[in-house]
Amino acid sequence: MDKEKLSRMSADPAVQAMIPKAKEEGVETIWDRLEKQQPTCGFGDLGVCCRNCMQGPCRIDPFKQGAQRGVCGADADTIVARNLIRAIAGGTAAHSGHAKHLAHILYKSAKGELKDYPVKDVDKLNAVASRLGVDLEGKSVQEIALEVGRLALEEFSEKDGPNLWAATNVTQGRVDTYLKLGVVPGGIDSAISDIMHRTHYGCDADPINLMLAGVKCALADFAGCHMGTDLSDILFGTPQPVVSEANMGVLKEKAVNIALHGHNPALSDIIVQVSREMQEEAKAAGAEKGINLVGICCTGNEVLMRHGVPSATHSISQEMAVLTGVLDAIVVDYQCILPSLANLQECYHTRLITTMPNTKISGAEHMEISEENAKDCAKDIIRAGIEAYGKRNPNKISIPEEKSEVVAGFSTEAIIGALKAVDSEDPLKPLIDNIVNGNIQGVCLFAGCNNARVPQDFNFVTVAKELAKNNVLILATGCGAGSLARHGLMTSQATLDYAGDGLKAVLTAVGEAAGLKGPLPLILHMGSCVDNSRAVDVAVAVANKLGVDLDKLPVVASAPEATAEKAISIGTWSVAGGLPTHVGVIPPVMGSALVVDVLTDKIKGLLGGYFIVETDPYKAAEKLLEAIKERRKGLGL
Ligand code: SF4
Ligand code: MSK
């Protein structure tokens, strides 16, 4: 396969090494399937196809030659807005489903029903409880955990008053703005079901009203993300800086390789814990190097952040890890798992193990986790991997050498901890001083997935390098963080190689003060998709200290290769949080000039944030830098 074609699929050399192997072995990949989908449906691309009732599907002619209304009379603006907010509801359901799962675990654990899930971070529990208004005085850890678990579960259903997680984790200025617009969510599930109701046949047909409901639901998504982060930290520990590696070179020929894939640490963290006790079992089965756990997607991020488990790959290249021929099992929870992994089992010995009742895949084996006996379930799953080790086909083994060092674990607490090494009394001061003096021009949060329509990682790496050169401090989460890690941008060396002089000076001063013997990494890995909430915490702390609202800060966000509905909900709450937010793929909204105008312009007057849609990564970087400059100007900097 020629080099140019390969680079149109992925910029990751490890993935480029695997794609020809797939061809040789007759294995279909995500890029083959993308090709077979061409040309994609223009109506779908523009968002003007409606399937909300059985009189349809109805399609609006974007060239104004044919139908301008669906059978019921809905026009393009209504259809596009309805489709958009249904996607937000989908993203919110996924993030908050993840949080709800953890809330049940915390609650049951506090009642003494789950022995394998003790509270690991009491400080975080107390901090979250205090923020929620729980009186800690005289209460045991268990009592506080019970109250936090109960409050968390209450935040899902219909309730009077604002959602606690949405309202207590932003500035007062944001809350006031949301109240004025009527977009403060109550129960998270209520916000989702409201979208499903109002987009049902014959309900809301006002595109602005629909989009405001979308903003409200996106803020419920923020609540779910923040809750997911909080409860994970309470149950599994708040991440601290950790050194590890990323890319397929982390797979080991002489070890039982088990990939942890999906999103939730509820099972994967337990697997990490018990794998330590099972090394001898793997060695007895012939694997000299024991068990080698690796991560894929956000479950991978969770165990990387807390335990330094290396990441094998992310998002659209998950099939490639199987193609190495040494991946013995992929253990999945939920979200972002390609069903095609099951088909790969026909050609490879890799066992695909589903573990959650809401994510079964035809052809995979299902080993459902019982939280009452989580450790025993985790052991059974690891044993399945050990068993598969003996079934490898030696002729199919080929592990790409590529791997990069990665320094991860930058929770908000870890960042504040590093800044404390510079100023123990006032940790935010060095950050703010350097923003004011221009050493740091602004901050960008990279988030979201890879997308098979974009050469994998190319947009992430290009935009990040352009911003770093211009002294923008970069934070990253999700598969975006994975992408930047695989390309070696989460190291001290990357800071020396790519940071502008001002940024380099700051990262070096903080890194050395924190005892790292060198600069902080060029890009700070903040965790999984739900952990975008960590970046909000940092921004809110800075805004509160400066006495301004979030929409005044020189802070931007970018999802240059967005894919999932979750990326749409996160992008929307990022805009609602006041941030200029870049999307590097064209979302399915272009069929409505009105919706596009609201998202990219009018919404700025309401919320301060707005979407920047730009597929060219160089132009995207310019636009983000422009937005940062405008914010600095607004602050008189
Ligand atoms: Fe067509 Fe209206 Fe039914 Fe949508 S809701 S499919 S536009 S008739
Ligand atoms: S896993 S939502 S592909 S970032 Fe969070 Fe990656 Fe996107 Fe899934």
Q: What is the pLDDT of residue 317?
A: 98
- Name every residue whose Cβ is closer than 8 Å to that of residue 421 and which is 6 or more positions away in sequence: 510, 513, 514, 515
Question: Are 372 and 273 in contact, with CB atoms under 8 Å apart?
Answer: no
Question: pLDDT per residue over 309-340, tens digit each?
Answer: 999 999 999 999 999 999 999 999 999 999 99
**List of long-range contacts for 348-357, beta carbons under 8 Å, 24+ apart:** 348/322, 348/323, 348/393, 348/396, 349/325, 349/388, 349/391, 349/392, 349/393, 350/322, 350/388, 351/384, 351/385, 351/388, 353/329, 353/381, 353/384, 355/267, 355/331, 355/381, 356/262, 356/332
Distance CA 430, CA 433 (A): 5
Q: Is the CB of 300 under 6 A from ligand 2?
A: no
Q: Is the CB of 479 under 6 A from ligand 2?
A: yes
Q: What is the pLDDT of residue 548?
A: 97
Nearest ligand to the CA atom of 53:
1
Minimum-distance ligand 1 atom for the alpha carbon of 79: 7
Query: Tell me, what amino acid is at 318?
Result: Q
Q: What is the pLDDT of residue 517?
A: 86
Distance 421 CA to ligand 1 centre (A): 60
Which mutation among 336, 460, 477, 483 tests ligand 2's pocket best, with the greatest number of atoms within 8 A of CB?
336
Minimum-distance ligand 2 atom for the alpha carbon of 315: 3
Which mutation among 59, 60, 72 tests ligand 1's pocket best, with the greatest number of atoms within 8 A of CB?
72
Query: What 3-state class would DSSP assign to 504?
Result: helix
Distance 604 CA to ligand 2 centre (A): 27
Distance 505 CA to ligand 2 centre (A): 32
Q: What is the pLDDT of residue 85?
A: 98
Write the DSSP symbol of residue 350.
P
Which mutation among 55, 199, 204 tests ligand 1's pocket best, with the greatest number of atoms within 8 A of CB?
55
Q: Is the CB of 535 under 6 A from ligand 2?
A: no
Q: Which residues face 477 on adjacent strands?
A: 527
Q: What is the pLDDT of residue 419?
A: 96
Question: pLDDT per residue over 278-306, tens digit each?
Answer: 999 999 999 999 999 999 999 999 999 99
Which mutation among 43, 49, 52 tests ligand 1's pocket best, with the greatest number of atoms within 8 A of CB?
52
Distance 73 CA to ligand 1 centre (A): 8
Distance 15 CA to ligand 2 centre (A): 18
State the Cα angle at 361 between 358 and 364, rounded to 5°.
125
Q: Which two tokens stand for residue 244?
A: 């590890």
CA dihedral 139, 143, 147, 153 (to 10 degrees): 170
> Which amino acids bring their CB within 6 angstroms of ligand 1?
50-53, 55-58, 70-72, 74, 201
Question: pLDDT per residue over 396-419, tens digit each?
Answer: 999 999 999 999 999 999 999 999
Question: Are 278 and 311 in contact, with CB atoms under 8 Å apart?
Answer: no
pLDDT band for 355, please (50, 70, 90 cuts). Answer: very high
- Tell the residue nearest (CA) to atom 3 of ligand 2: 449
pLDDT band for 59, please (50, 70, 90 cuts). Answer: very high
Question: Are 315 and 336 in contact, with CB atoms under 8 Å apart?
Answer: yes
Q: What is the pLDDT of residue 471?
A: 98
- Tell the residue nearest (CA) to atom 7 of ligand 2: 449
C-alpha closest to that of 331 among 371, 291, 294:
294
Question: pLDDT per residue over 518-531, tens digit each?
Answer: 999 999 999 999 99
Mean model confidence pLDDT for the chain: 97
Q: Is the CB of 449 under 6 A from ligand 2?
A: yes
Q: What is the pLDDT of residue 128?
A: 98
Q: Residue 270 to residues 335, 373, 381, 522: CA-CA distances in angstroms?
A: 19, 11, 11, 31
Question: Are 51 and 57 in contact, with CB atoms under 8 Å apart?
Answer: yes
- Tell the residue nearest (CA) to atom 7 of ligand 1: 70
Minimum-distance ligand 1 atom for the alpha carbon of 50: 4
Q: What is the pLDDT of residue 57?
A: 97
Q: Which two tokens stand for residue 231?
A: 């409860």
pLDDT band for 160, please (50, 70, 90 cuts). Answer: confident
Give the pLDDT mean for 78-101.
Answer: 98
Distance CA 356, CA 398 (A): 31
State the Cα angle at 286 between 283 and 292, rounded to 5°.
55
Side-chain half-sphere of 251: how many Cα atoms within 13 Å?
29
Question: Are 323 and 22 in contact, with CB atoms under 8 Å apart?
Answer: yes
Question: pLDDT per residue over 575-592, tens digit each?
Answer: 999 999 999 999 999 999
Rounded percentage of the chain residues whose pLDDT exceeds 90: 98
DSSP H or E segment with residue 163: none
Write the DSSP symbol of residue 522.
S
Q: What is the pLDDT of residue 221?
A: 98
Distance CA 207, CA 211 (A): 6
Distance 483 CA to ligand 2 centre (A): 11
Rounded percentage of the chain residues whose pLDDT exceeds 70: 100
- Tell the residue nearest (CA) to atom 3 of ligand 1: 53
Q: What phi and psi values does residue 222 have, to the nearest 5 degrees? A: -60, -45
- Tell the residue nearest (CA) to atom 6 of ligand 1: 56
Minimum-distance ligand 2 atom for the alpha carbon of 297: 1
- Tell the residue nearest (CA) to atom 8 of ligand 2: 336
Q: Is the CB of 452 under 6 A from ligand 2?
A: no
Q: Which two tokens stand for residue 282?
A: 């793997």
pLDDT band for 1, please (50, 70, 90 cuts). Answer: confident
Give the pLDDT mean for 121-134.
Answer: 98
Percentages of the chain per state (helix, strand, coil), in multiples of 5: 55, 10, 35
Q: What does 35-83 look like in DSSP terms, one character per residue?
A: HHTPSPPHHHHHT-EE-SSTT--EE--TTSSS-SB-TT--BHHHHHHHH
pLDDT for 450 beyond 90: yes
Nearest ligand to the CA atom of 200:
1
Q: Is the CB of 481 under 6 A from ligand 2?
A: no
Q: What phi and psi values does residue 87 have, to the nearest 5 degrees? A: -65, -40
Q: What is the pLDDT of residue 233?
A: 98
C-alpha closest to that of 235 among 409, 108, 369, 333:
108
State the Cα angle at 441 between 439 and 447, rounded to 5°.
125
Query: Tell me, what amino acid is at 164?
Result: L
